[in-house]
Chain A
Amino acid sequence: MNTTTQNVEAHEGGHDHPTDAKYIRVAIVLGIVTALEVATYFVNIPGAILIPVLLGMMVFKFFYVAAWFMHLRFDSPMFTKFFVTGLVLATLVYGVLLTVFEFWTKG
Chain B
Amino acid sequence: MADAAAVDHGHRTGTGLSNNKLLMWVFLGSECLLFGGLISTYLIYRSRYADGPAPGDIFDIPFTSVSSFILLMSSLTMVLSLSALQRGDIRNNRVWLLATALLGSLFIGGQVYEFTTFLREGLGYTTSPFSSAFFTLTGFHGIHVSLGIVMLVSLLIASFRGTLTKERSETVEIVGLYWHFVDVVWIFIFTVIYLVPSPTS
Chain A contacts to B: CB under 8 angstroms: 11-15, 17, 19-20, 23-24, 26-27, 30-31, 34, 37-38, 40-41, 47, 50-51, 54-55, 57-58, 61-62, 65-66, 68-71, 75-76, 78-79, 82-87, 89-91, 93-94, 97-98, 101, 103, 107
Contact = CB atoms under 8 A, between A and B. Distances in A.
Contacts of A70: 176-177, 180-181
Given A65-B75, A78-B17, A82-B26, A14 B5 contact: yes
Interface of B: 1-2, 4-5, 7-9, 15-17, 21-22, 25-26, 28-33, 35-37, 39-40, 43-44, 47, 61-62, 65, 68-69, 72-73, 75-76, 78-80, 83, 86, 173, 176-177, 180-181, 183-184, 187-188, 190-192, 195-197, 199
Q: Please report whether the interface of chain B is mostly helix, strand, loop or mixed according to DSSP.
A: helix
B44 A54 contact: no
B32 A65 contact: no
A107 B192 CA distance: 13
A54 B191 contact: yes
Given A13-B8, A83-B29, 17 more contacts: A13-B5, A34-B65, A51-B196, A58-B190, A62-B187, A65-B184, A65-B187, A69-B183, A70-B177, A76-B16, A76-B17, A78-B15, A79-B21, A83-B32, A86-B29, A94-B37, A107-B199
